[in-house]
Amino acid sequence: MKMKFADLKHMLDPKSVAIIGASDKPDKVGHAIMQNYIDVGFSGPIYPINVTSDGKIMGYTAYKSILDVKKEIDLAVISIPAQFVPKVLEECGKAKVKGVVIVTAGFAEVGEVALQEQLVKISKKYKLPFIGPNCLGVMDTRSRNDTLFLPTYKIDRPKIGGVSFVSQSGSVGSSTLDLISAEGFGLARFISYGNAAVVDEVDVLNYLAHDPETKVIIFYMEGVRRGKEFIEVAKTATKLKPVVIIKGGVTSSGAGAAHSHTASLAGSSEAYDAIFRQFGFVIANDIEDLLYYAKVFDTQPLTTGNRIAIVTNGGGHGVLATDAVSKVGLVIPELSKDSKKVLRKKHAAIVSIRLPLDIGGDADEKRYMVALDTLENDPNVDAILLITLFQTPGADERLVESVIAHSKRSKKPLVVVSTGSTYTKSHTALMEAAGIPVYESPTAAAEALAALIKYAKYKAGMVV
């Protein structure tokens, strides 16, 4: 019988780690895993295990079997050929290891169902939860736990933050992790669970829903095995925090690819879509959406109001933003009389005092701040979409400093649109580092705001 919900604490935040298959040879997976633990600065004991060891691996005392360690081990990472995994998993059970990550492939995803079932039987026998097989495993930015077999020089490790990322696929997981490092938000946990032989999406979602370090969950999923349990967990999880999900295998061809990739039961895309919508998941269409939604949820307050004020220093961008906001079902409001009076008094006569508010191609930080402070106090405005085109004369580091200062005292969601190359990116990076989500297009910013508002309404019990 399946364990109801696995406790992932010892897999994510272990005090000690054994690496089974550790090696001095740089071309071996076990070498990469060992090197990563060293590179990221894991502070607990590391026990390299290799049946051919002659005493030392990468400068650490090595052991031929985990049973030889005679110390308490929270996590074992297994990276040896598939046919030897059942034996060493049994040894992990005897050694009273608290959790296991099996990165080794060659199980149900290639038709070796019986071999995978051996692992499940051993897990039940010893009440030993494991993640995998056929996965990247886990990363925890606070504890410096990193089972990935991909070198740190090939994938940038994200900074510490509040977004936890779950991926059934290792390749989607690794490439997206690399992108997260450049997106301006931080990571709490990463979990790649592969074939989900024991620990599956239900366990992972349940754990992260109650994890105090996780503010937002982003999820790449190919299928669900325990449908009823998943629904029960989803009901709770999405009321506690946003869950942004992208489903792989939504076409018949994609479903076939998903099965051969992780032995996943992809199922009906319509059924999944209905469940996700009913229980408040934020649905992403692609990885870009996943990241764009993650950063707005990570940094901005929720609002159930859909009235969006647009401020721009470029007329065309204001038009595009108006179209984008309208297309996603949000509203451009009428400014209050008080706002119009303040803006009319402090802006040049050529500025039209209406939304979208085009404050001119020569706008400097003072003009921007008049607009932002006024809209912050306008009862007709629920959120602000701010366009900063740094190609114009008045837009420079002083504008960045002012927008950051405003964001720290603002209680309304604020997203920024800034389109451009080197000079622009050097300035937007500062805003993102300060917790302001920046998008390259009005469409992306509008869709992120729409997702934020829709989830806020779901959480508040409003019909969406």
Residue 184: predicted pLDDT: 79
Instruction: Kindly tell me the sign of the dihedral angle through the C-alpha atoms of 36, 38, 44, 47.
Output: positive
The verdict on 290 and 344 lying in the same domain is no
Q: Would residue 3 count as lying in a domain? A: no
Q: Are residues 327 and 406 in the same domain?
A: yes
Same domain, 290 and 406: no
Indicate the number of domains in the chain: 2
CATH, residue 159: 3.40.50.261
Ramachandran angles phi, psi of 407, nearest 5°: -60, -30
What pLDDT was estimated at residue 241?
Answer: 97
Burial class (CB in 10 A: 0-12, 13-18, 19+), 271: exposed
Lookup: tokens for 360? 């001119």
Tally the residues of the chain.
464
Assigned domain for 261 exists: yes
Same domain, 291 and 191: yes
According to the model, what pLDDT value does residue 156 have?
Answer: 86
Same domain, 348 and 231: no
Distance CA 285, CA 252 (A): 17
- Could you say which DSSP state residue 173 is in? H
Instruction: Tell whether 356 and 279 lie within a shared domain.
Output: no
- Does the residue 366 lie in any domain? yes
Q: Which of 274, 297, 320 is the last residue of a domain?
A: 297
Are residues 285 and 314 part of one domain?
A: no
The Cα-based distances of 162 to 108, 113, 412 in angstroms read 33, 37, 20
Full-model pTM:
0.91
Tell me the two tokens of residue 263. 């032995």
pLDDT of residue 82: 98
pLDDT of the residue at 56: 94
Instruction: From 297, 318, 345, give the residue that closes a domain.
Output: 297
CB 100 within 8 A of CB 76: yes
Residue 2: inside a domain, yes or no? no
Q: Is 197 domain-assigned?
A: yes
Q: Which residues contact 113 (CB under 8 A, 6 or more apart)?
A: 107, 263
Instruction: Please tell me whether residues 175 and 266 are part of one structural domain.
Output: yes
CA atoms within 13 A on the CB side of 102: 32
Whether 84 maps to a domain, the answer reads yes
Residues 142 and 156 in one domain: yes
pLDDT along the chain (464 residues), means of 10: 69 97 95 95 96 92 96 98 98 98 96 97 97 96 94 88 95 93 91 95 96 97 90 95 88 48 57 90 95 97 98 96 98 97 86 92 94 97 98 95 97 97 96 96 98 97 79
Say what the pLDDT of residue 267 is.
Answer: 59
In this structure, the answer to whether residues 166 and 253 fall within a common structural domain is yes
Range of the domain at 47: 9-297
How much is the pLDDT for 264?
A: 45
Residue in this structure with the two tokens 């990193």, named with its chain if needed:
146
**Is 357 a member of any domain?**
yes
Last residue of a domain, one of 297, 324, 349: 297
Clarify whether residues 329 and 281 are in a common domain. Answer: no
Query: Considering the domain boundaries, does residue 1 fall inside one?
Result: no
- For residue 225, the 8-state DSSP code is S
User: Do 233 and 157 have their domain in common?
Assistant: yes
For 51, phi then psi, to 5°, come to -60, -20
